[in-house]
Structure 1
Amino acid sequence: MNHEQRQRTWGLAVTVLAVTLTGCSTVTEPTPAASGVTPAGVTAPSEGSAAGAEGGQEEAASKLPGLPSAEEARTALDGLKVATQGSMAGYSRAKFAHWSSQGDNCDTREMVLQRDGSDVQRDDECRAVSGKWVSVYENKTFTVAADLDIDHTVPLANAWRSGAGTWTQAEREAFANDLTHPQLLAVSAATNRSKGDQGPDQWQPPNQSYWCTYGRSWTTVKAAYKLTITQDEKAMLTKMLDTCTL
């Protein structure tokens, strides 16, 4: 995800465009997994650390805004329209303006880093200069903010194919900067690039213990914006929600 700056939020109300939001994403090269070397600023999970890892993931999930219970997500999933994906004709990331200022020199990227991290310290320009973040997709801990991307749970191109192509610029900008729903998440650049614009039927978080939260998040965003899902997408979301114990 490239480093860009703009903002905006779109609420659930049918006729109201809500608070303008912001963000900015830094992209780094994925770390080669085959090297066997843990890079500086990254802590790989150790053996016997499962309990701590689950606790960290639960904490990360609790920070996501608007995350429903599994039962609420199942109900929302049943209400989503199933349809084939639309065309990519006319798509451009520039039509989903992000990221923008939040005030006090902050943008949406910095807001998400602050929300998702712990012990985050900022400089005078609101940039995170220290802290700790768990990239829940693969359960790795990072201590350098530049190693993280801000992922759109429902990717911009996926949204375009499932209904956003008919939206106004303002609506797309709001979607790209939404801090009200579980749409933005600080994750490693490697997993963000691996995911790309794929739906849950094509890409799933390698860390299966996060599938419940991922399914709840994806379903919530699609429902909030009245986006369609494919039959394969619905089947995988059902499988993910079936891993929930909540």
Structure 2
Amino acid sequence: MNTFDLNHVTIGYEQKTVLEQLSFSIPHGKITVLLGANGCGKSTLLSTLARQRDALGGEIAFRNKPLDSYRAKEAARLMAFMPQVNVAPDGLTVEQLVRFGRYPYQTFFKRYSEDDERAVERALAFTDTVSLRDTLVSNLSGGQKQRVWIALALAQESETILLDEPTTYLDMSHQIEILDLMYRLNRLEGKTIIMVLHDLHLACRYADHVIALAGGNVYREGSPNDVVDETFMKDVFGLKVVVTEDPLYGTPLCVPYSHYELNEKRPT
């Protein structure tokens, strides 16, 4: 079973088409990364899959059912979405924020339960944020905030997690920390992870499946080794590169030429 199946889907906003006639599938239980140049529609596609906006045409199936056939709380139990920009209300602690992840399970007759408590504690433990539980979210560092928002998504206990640029504005150490966490969620918990990433090297290292967007449609998809080469980099990013092998993981590593001829000798 695929997590998503798209059939001739057109997406955009305010009746402006961004991507059209998309037909592809996102595999279940894998890490899929959406790639492409700025403005190509990656975030718009991800937010459409997350039901934050409606498709302009075509059919999207989620777990073999029409995406729009799910009720809001039912969908929230099955998928969690972390947008690029997250803002917590003032005065909210980490634990209070993570508890919001249990909202899909609340009803008028069923309030916060022991199951909810266990889910929150597990999410805090998995993201190593237990020690931050009483800290105001506004007082956290960038890397800590990202882990806390991921904890909120984990508290939903959804099998599919969609993240829009989860490593933006983080230094290299925190980028690896967040992506290692996604890898653990996938390999240990069986979560389907769908991400937008800008760092091509890290995308190739962590992704099982990549979907590259260009020219309003899918340019190429498959494993990183099948997708990323010199032609791909020229066509999608307009960049001349040498593609070599990551010495640690054997995934594609792109070494770009400069746009400017660099003639001066570098000090050694």
RCO higher in structure (CA 8 A, sep ≥6)? 1
What is the TM-score with the length of structure 2 in the denominator?
Answer: 0.27
- Bigger share in strand: 2
